[in-house]
Amino acid sequence: MVGITRRAAFQGGAALLVAPSLIDRANAQSAFDWRRFRGERIEVSVQLSPRGTMLQQNNKEFEELTGIRCGLEVVPEQQHRQKIIVEYASGRPSFDVTEISLHVNKRQVGKARWNTDIRFLLADSTLTAPDFDFADYGEGMMTYATQSDGRLDTCPAGADYFILYYNKELLAAKNIDVPTTWDEMYEASKRLADPTKQVYGHVGRGVKNANVVLWSSYLLGTGQRDMIDANRQLITDTPDAIWAGENYKKFLRDVSPPGSIGFNWNECQTTFMQGRAAMWVDGIGFAAPLEDRTRSRIAGKVGYAVVPRGPGPQHHCALFGAGYGIPEASRKKGPAWLYIQWALGKANQLKWLVSGAGVPARSSPFRNEEAIGRSHFPRDFFQTLEASAKIARAGLPEIVPVTQFRDVIGSALTNSISGADVATELKKATAEFRPILEQSERET
């Protein structure tokens, strides 16, 4: 047996006393330093949505984590899109982080190189937390957010899939199954209509601009699927495009409430929530109020399903999405990148999903069975989400003048609801928009 000397005992005791501080220091070196930019201030501009509201409510959490003061502005969607473009064009945007609607502004922002390429920030281990786990982002969303030249100028934030909402009670009352094709849905809508009670089989967007995404949902079900071809030429007056237009016309004219010509998503949502429409095809991001018992008459009675199939060989649903970017002109890219990591981290993205605030771009929230089980949303909501993610395809063409595209094609569709000939209207709209697209493509 080896005897312990008094000297060895003192040395051992001293070592034990010092050990905790050594471990702390070692941890500090290995752990990510969230507070490296403490004392700085950043400005963030996001769209008014349940996601934006959530960020606003939890802003203090970010400030306490990083010591960075964060001025957060939440602006309604349409005004936000316009505001950020005007600010970007000025060369000195007031924000260090902003939300970009990828289906509207992606190409415009990418073409002007207004945002910084976040791949360089991702590669910097001093700036990117090890648990940020970029591989967690689904491939589809990564492709959607990446510019054609390979630059990644936004971090994917969320997706929005078009799905079929239906009123379970109304369908059950007439013993109607959930439709799986557009034709079945049209026939079901006719049977579900009860004008004496002002109940209609279907409700959908009729207002110009907003209505294009409903038409594109039909078009995605054809063999053509897209609105521009591989040579970036407009193909919105082809037989498939006209079929989609005819489908749109018959749904909006024959089986929708009178006045649908002026309905945007909010009028559709109100009509559906009040139990006045049996089926509604729109973005999954509008689900939360439907399940709110204080606002909705059909809470607990809403069914969710993937959009019906079209006549084409593939089955797709329209995909839209948003990402968060950092302006190239920002002088606070480091703190801004910390904000994005916090806002789009795993914890916040899981909150989005379970509260119905939006569809996260990350895939890990969908695997969190325990959190999903606690959600007040029914199982079929999450199943529809998962199934839609697999068949999602861009619901708008990736072009710079996308708003003008929606305006011109949307006007043609609106005219068709009033009775105009679909083929004539789409040919006229295509001829009107073609030179605008060609000029834009030449400049690109």
Partner 1 sequence: MSQATAASVAVRAVANRRRNYARRYVWFVIPAAVVIIAVILFPWIFTIYVSAFDWRLGGERRWVGFANYKQLFTDARFGWAVLRTIFYTALAVMLPMLLGLIAALSFNRKFPLRGLARTIFILPMMATPVAVALVWTMMFHPQLGVLNWLLVQFGLPPSLWVYSADTVIPTLVLVEVWHWTPLVMLLILGGLASLPVDPYEAAKIDGASPWQAFRYITLPLLAPFIVVALIIRTIDALKAFDTIYVITQGGPGQASETINIFLYLQAFAFYNVGYASAVVVVFFILIMGLAALLLWTRERVRMT
Q: Which among 444, 406, 442, 412 has a CA at the least distance from the CA of 425?
A: 412
Question: For residues 412 and 429, is the Cβ–Cβ distance under 8 A?
Answer: yes
CA 257, CA 271: separation in Å to the nearest integer?
Answer: 9
Which region among 18-26, 103-111, 118-126, 378-386 touches partner 1 (by CB under 8 A)? 103-111
Please give the full DSSP string across 102-130, using - where no structure is assigned.
HHHHHHHHHHHT-B--THHHHH-TTTS-G
3-state secondary structure of 120: helix
Pairing mode of beta strands 41-47, 97-101: parallel
Query: 41 phi and psi, to 5 degrees?
Result: -135, 135
Residue of 82, 143, 148, 314 that binds partner 1 (CB under 8 A):
82
Nearer to partner 1, 257 or 303 (CB): 257
Query: 259 phi and psi, to 5 degrees?
Result: 90, 0
Does position 325 interact with partner 1 (CB under 8 A)? The reply is no
Q: How far is the CB of 292 from partner 1 (least distance, A)?
A: 17
Q: How far is the CB of 33 from partner 1 (least distance, A)?
A: 36
Query: Which residue's structure tokens are 């924000």?
Result: 95
Residue of 249, 276, 333, 362 that binds partner 1 (CB under 8 A):
276
Does position 258 interact with partner 1 (CB under 8 A)? The reply is yes
Nearer to partner 1, 66 or 209 (CB): 209
3-state secondary structure of 242: helix
Does position 47 interact with partner 1 (CB under 8 A)? The reply is no
CA 92, CA 95: separation in Å to the nearest integer?
Answer: 9
Does position 426 interact with partner 1 (CB under 8 A)? The reply is no
Tokens standing for 382?
A: 């999450």
Q: How far is the CB of 338 from partner 1 (least distance, A)?
A: 28
Residue of 139, 369, 370, 443 that binds partner 1 (CB under 8 A):
443
Does position 415 interact with partner 1 (CB under 8 A)? The reply is yes
Q: How far is the CB of 403 from partner 1 (least distance, A)?
A: 5
Cα of 218 vs its chain's centroid, Å: 19
Binding site for partner 1 (CB under 8 A): 82, 85-86, 88-89, 108-109, 111-112, 114, 198, 206-209, 257-263, 267, 270-271, 274, 276, 400-401, 403-404, 407, 411, 414-415, 418, 440, 443
